[in-house]
Copies of this chain bind each other. A is one copy, B any other.
Amino acid sequence: MHAIIDAAWICHVAFRDERGVHCIPTACWRIGAHLYIHGSNGSRMVRRLMEDECCVTITHVDGLVLARSAFNHSMNYRSAVIYGRFEPVEEAAAGTGKRQAMEAFMEHLVPGRQGEIRPGNDKEYAATTVLRIALAEAACKVRSGPPEDDEEDMGVRAWAGVLPLREARGAVVPDPACAMAAPDYVRRWAD
Contacts and interface: CB of A to CB of B under 8 A. Distances in A.
A97 interface: no
A77 to B, nearest CB: 7
Copies of this subunit: 2
A104 interface: no
B21 A14 contact: yes
Interface residues of A, number: 82
Interface of A: 9-10, 12-16, 20-25, 27, 53-57, 59, 61, 63-64, 66-71, 73, 75, 77, 79, 81, 83, 102, 106, 109-110, 113-114, 116-120, 124, 128, 146-147, 153-154, 156-178, 180-183, 186, 189, 191
A118 B70 contact: yes
